[in-house]
Amino acid sequence: MQELPLEGIRVLDFCQMWAGPHATEWLSVMGAEVIKVETSLRIDYMRTVGAPPGLAGTGPNVGSAFASLNWGKKSISLNMTKPKAQALAKKLIKICDVVSENFGGGVLERWGLSYEEMKRIKPDIIYYAGSGYGRSGPHKERPAYAEIVDAFTGATFSNGYPGGEPNVIGVSPWTDGAQAIHGAVSILTALYHRMNTGEGQYIDAAMIEGNANFLGEMVMGYIINGNIGERIGNRDAIMAPHGCYPCKMTGDEDEWIALAVANQKEWESLCRLMGNPDWTKQEEFNDELKRWDNQEALDKYLTGWTRQYGAYELTAILQKAGIAATPSLSTKQFTHDKHIKTRGFFKKPNHPVLGNKVLAGLPIKFSDYAEGNYHTPPLLGEHNEYVFGELLGLSKEEIRQLTEEKVLE
Amino acid sequence: MNRQALSDVKVLEFSDFISGPYCGKLLSNMGAQVIKVEKPGLGDKARSWGPFPQNLPHPEKSGLFLFLNTNKSGITLNLETAAGLKIFKELLQWADVLIEDHSVKEMAELGLSYAEVKKIKPSLVMTSITPFGQTGPFKNYKGNDLISAHAGTEGFGNPDEGVKDPATLPPLKVPNHAADFMAGLTATACTLGALLGHKKTGRGQHIDLSKQEAVASITRQQLAYYSVMEETPSREFGRKKFGGFLYPCKDGYVVIWIGPHYHLVVKMMGEPDWSKEEMFANPLLRNNYIVELNQLITVWTMEHTTEEINALARTHGVPCSLVRSVKDLVSDEQLAFRDFWREIDHPVAGKIKYPGAPFKLSVTPAAIERPAPLLGEHNEMVFCNILNYSREQLVRMRQGGII
């Protein structure tokens, strides 16, 4: 079966950096035609990030970060500061279903593309505006990044080792990821409503509000009990052992295992696997509550055992005994993981600069649709001819002229 | 009645704790009718989790449960009884969407694999959330939030800046069940994609959501680095580049983003002499000397309070925030201005403030109005009104441990 759920949906995408492009990447991989509006005068910063060795700073098509955030999109180079470019954008809005942007403040308005104007051009348009703090309120103009928002919401405060200092959350786009997928959810919801009623709408998505939902457990803890939480690292509120332990190196990287023992039965299984050493019989480990109270000592003993095995080997042993475990994977180990390979998580971009170095696909697996639109992430301005020629019906000569006038740049 | 985007969507939620319930919550925010199936007795694990007022455990007062299950209807059903299973299958006929988080093996044993479910209701969208997905060598592996975080390379990536002693400090889970939330959110996006397709074609769909992949997807930038640069990745302190670093101050911490804002940051600090050094002349050089650069910035931040730096950053347009606690979030002026919080009255837990919707839709705003269901609160409504069982049968179901 070849088709995809969002075929026939077209998006004019002004998003840059991480959260915005990843939101529309979800739409693109699900089959929407996403046209990314860019210009070589101010390229998406991600086009420069993560270049292959020796290629940093050699142009707008070297960024592997960009490629992994823009699967299957089309790119036009439109210098929106020119009136002719703004007129072309309006023509494009007329044939689009969604307009998306994540600029700081009212950039589109300055280009004559307020939501009111868009509605005049295309009454059922869906307009997605993503931002750090939202498009209203005293902080609406403040610049935001994932790390800034995490600090603002309390996520950074609660991130760290027990008894240690707060830490910037890694990987740093964590909150961008939440914003991106909340964004995709909001647009898909609006598309659903439009299918039912023919109505479009305006979406104001603020990272701090998505983040406050992800932190719901801690937020409720404060509201209910005035508790601001503490840094507990890999620990759990009830389970012990519950953590990440060193293993034997079997390759060229450190190996760690994460494991969680949920109850007495699993603890007894673990003891059997370890050969019931004397330390497990100490009174301070003989029930769930005592193990939790004495987990620091418990972890030290356990480490002596985990070090004897490779992480995959020990994971198999524990899982077979019904105990949740996994190797704690580095990006390298994950890329070579046999389970992930079987699942087809990575895709080949067939990219003129990046070649077929694999990039992460999206975690979307439908039983009755094609696997997704994983066409090569676009080079800057690659689709000018298709978009302005085929979609808007301009002649080759007109497109050449627009290029000469630096409307397309 | 509020116009709600998903008010014609019926969802059966057969899942526990966070991931599946967050998916159901997002759909119910948008107007979907969600029936949550809990096991008789203790119900959802989140009911036992808390936080509880005054630290007194009570199944109807768990903050996590109350938050994750607003707007839903709740029933109890024991699928290990033949009658319970039969009723569940009747509910599948009612539903457009099934959200479930049981292992591949458990669902097969219940006779509820997708192949079986499809026979009962061909047009159903079935969203299955499991630690490692429905296929592959690890498909039956058990997991939880910790396991998903570490299997998806998030543990390796945290803390972002790396650690000074990677041999003793292990890879670190992100706090607050973030992986569970991410899996639930990701499942929601997939479910809505399938629903849009369903609307057009009436076609059913099985969604195979792997929590490991939902987490790894967020690390895509780091995965691309490894793939393209072919350098063995490191957990050593100093690995982080560009910007978004934590700086200690007189009275706490701030996070500042340097990156393309270097000149603004320098101006904010009063243009110290070192800022004109050759080693900081361009972004590539600054990345090479990022540890040295941050040490110099730290000298300055240590001489100031967090509030002083925050005020200066606002004046200079530098991306910056204090490292605040959740207390500051709950009383934050921006969220108050945007009318983010929702107050809901719950028959047992009382009036409590809840986080509002994660995004604002102008025409079909989220409605977070009804409190989470009491355990089995909607048994009569569902079994008698929707499925047409009699009250007498309802009593027998209760006596037989079916509901």
State chain A's maximal CA–CA distance in angstroms: 86
Q: Which residues of B touch A312 (CB under 8 A)?
A: none
* Gap between the Cα atoms of A280 and A289, Å rounded: 15
Sequence-ordered strand ranges (E) for B265-384: 320-322, 342-346, 350-354, 360-361
Nearest to B67 by CA among B107, B18, B116: B18
**A150/B255 CB distance under 8 A:** yes
Q: Pick A200 or B282 by higher pLDDT.
A: A200
Structure confidence at residue B1 as a pLDDT band (50, 70, 90): very low
CB of B154 less than 8 A from some CB of A? yes
**B223/A335 CB distance under 8 A:** yes
* Gap between the Cα atoms of A235 and A42, Å rounded: 45
**A145/B357 CB distance under 8 A:** no
Of A168, A208, A214, the CB nearest to B335: A208
Quick check: A60 and A47 in contact, CB under 8 A?
Answer: yes
CB atoms within 10 A of CB A10: 18
Nearest to A62 by CA among A355, A331, A335, A332: A355
Along the 409 residues of chain A, how does pLDDT read in single tens digits?
Answer: 469 999 999 999 999 999 999 999 999 999 999 999 999 999 999 999 999 999 988 999 999 999 999 999 999 999 999 999 999 999 999 999 999 999 987 899 999 999 999 999 999 999 999 999 999 999 998 889 999 999 999 999 999 999 999 999 998 788 999 999 999 999 999 999 999 999 999 999 999 999 999 999 999 999 999 999 999 999 999 999 999 999 999 999 999 999 999 999 999 999 999 999 999 999 999 999 999 999 999 999 999 999 999 999 999 999 999 999 999 999 999 999 999 999 999 999 999 999 999 999 999 999 999 999 999 999 999 999 999 999 999 999 999 999 999 999 9
**B154/A323 CB distance under 8 A:** no
Chain A nearest-CA distance from B68, in A, is 8
Nearest to B39 by CA among B69, B84, B82, B70: B84
CB of B322 less than 8 A from some CB of A? yes
Chain A residue at shortest CA distance from B55: A225
* Gap between the Cα atoms of A257 and B81, Å rounded: 38
**A223/B151 CB distance under 8 A:** no
Q: What average pLDDT does the segment B365-383 reach?
A: 96
Chain A residue at shortest CA distance from B326: A154
Quick check: A108 and A114 in contact, CB under 8 A?
Answer: yes
**pTM for the full predicted model:** 0.98
Whole-number average pLDDT of chain B: 96
Chain B residue at shortest CA distance from A175: B218
Phi and psi (nearest 5°) for A340?
-65, -35
Structure tokens at A46: 């991600």
Q: What average pLDDT does the segment B198-226 reach?
A: 95
For residue A241, whether the previous peptide bond is cis, meaning omega lies within 30 degrees of 0, is yes
Cβ-proximal residues to B118 (8 Å cutoff; 6+ apart), any chain: B124, B204, B206
Chain A residue at shortest CA distance from B178: A214
- Contacts across the A-B interface (CB distance below 8 Å): 518
Of A229, A256, A335, the CB nearest to B227: A335
Interface of B with A in 223-242 (CB under 8 A): 223-230, 232-233, 235, 240, 242
Quick check: A170 and A138 in contact, CB under 8 A?
Answer: no
Distances (CA, A) of A326 to A254, A317, A352, B358: 14, 11, 36, 31
Chain B residue at shortest CA distance from A66: B221
**A176 assigned to active site:** yes
Q: Which residues of B touch A189 (CB under 8 A)?
A: 5-6, 30, 192, 361, 364
Cβ-proximal residues to A289 (8 Å cutoff; 6+ apart), any chain: none
Full set of structural domains in chain B with CATH: 10-218+336-399 (3.40.50.10540), 245-318 (3.30.1540.10)
> Using one digit for the tens of pLDDT, what is the confidence trace for B55-99?
999 999 999 999 999 999 999 999 999 999 999 999 999 999 999
pLDDT on residue B283: 85
Q: Which residues of B touch A224 (CB under 8 A)?
A: 51-53, 63, 352
ipTM computed for the complex: 0.98
* Gap between the Cα atoms of B99 and B187, Å rounded: 9
> Using one digit for the tens of pLDDT, what is the confidence trace for B289-337?
999 999 999 999 999 999 999 999 999 999 999 999 999 999 999 999 9
* Gap between the Cα atoms of B145 and A326, Å rounded: 11
Quick check: B61 and B53 in contact, CB under 8 A?
Answer: yes
What single string gives the DSSP state of each residue in B83-109?
Answer: HHHHHHHHHHHH-SEEEE---HHHHHH
Given a cut of 70, whether residue B104 has pLDDT beyond it is: yes
Round the CA-based radius of gyration of chain A to a whole number and report it.
25
Full set of structural domains in chain A with CATH: 10-214+344-404 (3.40.50.10540), 242-338 (3.30.1540.10)
Chain B nearest-CA distance from A90, in A, is 22
* Gap between the Cα atoms of B240 and B162, Å rounded: 7
* Gap between the Cα atoms of A144 and B387, Å rounded: 50
**B210/A236 CB distance under 8 A:** no
> Using one digit for the tens of pLDDT, what is the confidence trace for B145-188?
999 999 999 999 999 999 999 999 999 999 999 999 999 999 99
Given a cut of 50, whether residue B115 has pLDDT beyond it is: yes
